Chains A and B, each alone.
Chain A
Amino acid sequence: MKEILKLVDISKRFPGNQALSSVSVTFHENEIHGIVGKNGAGKSTLMNIVMGIIGADQGEIVFKNTKIENAQPKTMIELGITFVPQKLRMLNTLSVAENLFCGNLPKNQYGIINWNQVYKKANKALSSMGLDIDSKISVQELSVEQRTMLIISKAVLYDSKIIILDEPTAVLNKRERSLIFKFINQQKQKGISFIFISHHLEEIFEICDKVTILVDGKSKGTHQVSELNIERLINLMIGKNIGSYKRQNYINNKKKVLEVKNLTRRGYFEKINFNIHEGEILGICGLGSSGLNELMQSLYGMDRRGIGEIKLEGKAFKSGKPSESMKQGVAYLTHDRHENGLINFRSLAENITVSVMNKISNFSLISNSKERDIAIDQIEKLKIHPPDFEKTIDLFSGGNQQKIIFGRLSVINPKLMLLQEPTQGVDVNAKNDIYRIIENLSLDQISILIASSEIREMINICDRIIVMNENRLVEEFTHENFSFEKIMLSMEQAHS
């Protein structure tokens, strides 16, 4: 097989983070090449470099034996490299044909669009790709897998040589997945190469010819998939544990704070059963598609609950909205801090006290001194830097913003904290600080439920870990028998 794209010794450094260190990968024609790695392993950075969106600090990109200097998105697209993002961007309200031709609709001699011609050509193109889609219907009527296939078809029709698929199956079920895989295999026969990024290791075995493993920005080599099995792949993916926080004391308290029984919301989570004890740190590990996000938001009352029973300290917990949950002693930390965690343009103090306005006011008149006292107390406890309670929250670093939100949750004095990806987008030092904060909260008898896909970090902080996979809780580990491999296998494997 001929080489088509070669990356040689690519390095990229972001402030405070070596995203890639001399990664080399070679892609061949007619090949489906998987790239696997945990969040933050450098997959997106590598793909951004391939697409010319960011420049590498070092290393070179060679396309068909020609070195590409100063790669720009335009040059890479013209060379025939197409990126298909996880969230497809299409002109949803327009027809399939219009999406296919975009700016290039066939016109008659007066420059007016010839719609008969448009649909005829589009139908012909689609059937040549083996797709049975009517080109007149609008894209929003298509299913997700049809849209993905449409985008791939468009790339093929416009002479793409390499198509990068970023988690194309994240929201699909098995049947839809197998349809896409069949389609991709057909295109491979035509000489197209695919780069396939996925969190689902099983899919790598289903579809890929080769796989490259990234760990902490370094390549662990490219392997023939036929020579690997899933256990060995997971073994390759384990990275080193660099100076990360280690839990000091484990809890031994059997008082149940939260009991969840048979909680079911069809399509999101099914038959969920678990308990959390007082002061316990319970981790739930799962991939983005496992239904974990939805479970957490439903527990907090941001989303519909479905059926089942939830008890908080022995009493039924039936909150339908966040303000209610908070009153009953449940606090929540979101995984998308920028989307719905920060109150932008407002001060540190306002961000900390927003959920406890009754504590800083008399008859709804705000007392500045009370507000300041609460803010300063949290600044000291959480070591927020710089310790300026009047500073606008946007001007703090990611780690400190996260600490401020922890401050917001702590001042509620909750019984239970629901944390989603608590260390997302913060640097290593801030991560350690945050885990120290979490452990201190647990010592104050607050029960903590963490949803995360960072297994290594979870192993260091949790008392117990439950694994969620395909909308169900599948396995439970206690801290004595935590094992990265076993937890990861449980997250990845098909259990049905």
Chain B
Amino acid sequence: MQHLFKYFIWYVLIATFLCFSLLIPNFSSPTNIQNILIGGSVLGIMVIGQALCLFAKNLDLSAEGNVSIVTVIAAWLMLPAAESTFAQAGGLGVELAPVIVVPIMLTLGTLFGFINGLLIAYVGMNFFIVTLAMQLVLRGFGYVISEGAVMPGTPNSFNFLGGGQLYGIPMPIITMIIVFLIFHFFVRQTTIGRQVLFVGSNIKTAQTVGIDQKRIVLFVYAVSGFLAAFAGWILLGKLETSVPNLGAELTLNVVAAAVIGGVSLKGGEGSLIGALAGVLLLAIINNALNLMSVDPYWVNAVRGFIILLALIIDAQKQRFLNRI
């Protein structure tokens, strides 16, 4: 039984995949599988940061704001100045090379996460409010800088990570797999990774046994910020155009994927591999609904339903495990 619970999400994933393969022609074709994976790649990278926060019994709602502002700033720094039209804007005109812009993006993202962490761990503010407010602040600045307009035409070398291919395999897929492997190893096999889980499991005990719980909380938010910026890089590279509302709705999907994948909202429980399964499940469903040309308004309803289902299973699991 415990085995079933542990790998439940994978069974669901396989069952869903087989179902759709039978229902939809071409669903299981290599091209479509590639599409599914590309669709899940941004989510897949962001879910790692969110899962780390959840492991430590925290939550990062600011990630999508982070994506928005770092992509706007990146485009702004890279694009040539141009006359602003109604819908389109140019950059700052400095035309920095991607090799400078990417580190700036990643540093800024980390910095925003770091500020979240400082306010939550050291100032003692509520994580929900801090990160929600941060999301609004960051997105707001994104609109201010871009004047609400799109900035098209990011340079090719920048776009490689989001749109390029290596040996015929799209870069986002390769990147997602590498980042996942690194962080999976990190959580399971390093002392800090383990401390993150301990802090989430019982923060008082963690403190008593000599773990610096504040530093751990700061750390997870900084990593979440870094990964959001990294995901922003892929997303901007894929679109080649900065849009200030980029990443809208990502937060909910990221949290949903983590929860569906068995990362407990109560902290200290779950694995990144589970979260990955959650991402894949959402990606499969998105893709299938697309292929079946389901009304996009339905997509949200279905997604919400799946999240509810995942939470019900999580609650039942607790009850079941308590009984044995």
Contact = CB atoms under 8 A, between A and B. Distances in A.
Given A321-B212, A323-B211, A341-B208, 11 more contacts: A322-B207, A322-B209, A327-B210, A339-B204, A340-B202, A343-B201, A345-B268, A346-B198, A350-B194, A354-B198, A365-B189
B208 A344 contact: no
A77 interface: no
B194 A332 contact: no
Contacts of B208: 302, 322, 332, 334, 340-341
Interface in A188-212: none
Contact of B202 (A302, A326, A342): A342
B210 A344 contact: no
A393 to B, nearest CB: 10
A323 B212 contact: yes
A361 B198 contact: no
B95 interface: no
A341 B192 CA distance: 20
B210 A322 contact: yes
A62 interface: no
Contacts of B206: 343
A22 interface: no
5 contacts: A302-B208, A322-B210, A323-B210, A364-B191, A364-B192
A341 B205 contact: yes
Interface in A322-336: 322-323, 325-327, 332, 334
A129 interface: no
Contacts of A344: 201-202, 268
B257 interface: no
Tell me the dominant secondary structure on chain B's binding face: helix
Contact of B201 (A323, A346, A361): A346
A366 interface: yes
Interface string B80-97: 000000000000000000
A364 B209 CA distance: 17
B57 to A, nearest CB: 12
Contacts of B211: 323, 354
Interface in B255-282: 268-269
Contacts of B253: none
B241 interface: no
A43 interface: no
A343 B190 contact: no
A401 to B, nearest CB: 12
Contacts of A345: 201, 268-269
Nearest to B185: A365
A68 B247 CA distance: 66
Contacts of A156: none
B41 interface: no
A12 B192 CA distance: 48
Interface of A: 302, 321-323, 325-327, 332, 334, 339-346, 350, 354-355, 357-358, 361, 364-366, 408
A240 B207 CA distance: 39
Most chain B C-beta atoms within 10 Å of own C-beta, residue among A325, A326, A365: A365
B9 interface: no
Interface residues of B, number: 21
Given A364-B190, A366-B191, A343 B212 contact: no
B205 A343 contact: yes
Given A340-B204, A345-B201, A346-B201, A355 B209 contact: yes
Contacts of A326: 209-210
B197 interface: yes
Contacts of B210: 322-323, 325-327, 355
Interface in B170-196: 189-192, 194-195
Contacts of B191: 357-358, 361, 364, 366
A366 B190 contact: yes
Pairs A-B, 8 closest by C-beta atoms = A340-B204, A323-B210, A357-B191, A326-B210, A340-B205, A364-B191, A355-B209, A354-B209
A230 B197 CA distance: 52
Contacts of B190: 361, 364-366
Contact of B207 (A302, A342, A361): A302
A303 B155 CA distance: 56
A357 B212 CA distance: 13
A405 B269 CA distance: 21
A343 B208 CA distance: 11
A257 B209 CA distance: 22
A302 B209 CA distance: 11
Nearest to B198: A343
B249 to A, nearest CB: 32
A6 B190 CA distance: 62
A365 B191 CA distance: 6
A350 B268 CA distance: 13
Nearest to A358: B191
Interface in B195-233: 195, 197-198, 201-202, 204-212
Contacts of B268: 343-346
A366 B189 contact: yes
Contacts of B198: 343, 346, 350, 354
Interface string B3-46: 00000000000000000000000000000000000000000000
Most chain A C-beta atoms within 10 Å of own C-beta, residue among B189, B190, B202, B268: B202
Contacts of B212: 321, 323
Contacts of A358: 191
Contacts of A354: 198, 209, 211
Nearest to A392: B321
Contacts of A332: 208
Nearest to A336: B204
Nearest to A368: B189
Nearest to A333: B208
B43 to A, nearest CB: 27
Contacts of A346: 197-198, 201, 268
A365 B185 CA distance: 9
Contacts of B194: 350, 357, 366
A346 B202 CA distance: 11
Nearest to A354: B209
Nearest to A339: B204
Nearest to B207: A322
A378 to B, nearest CB: 15
Contacts of B209: 322, 326, 343, 354-355, 408
Contacts of A340: 202, 204-205, 207-208
A289 B211 CA distance: 29
A302 B191 CA distance: 23
B169 to A, nearest CB: 29
Contacts of B192: 364
B95 to A, nearest CB: 41
Most chain A C-beta atoms within 10 Å of own C-beta, residue among B191, B204, B209: B209
A485 B205 CA distance: 36
Contacts of A361: 190-191
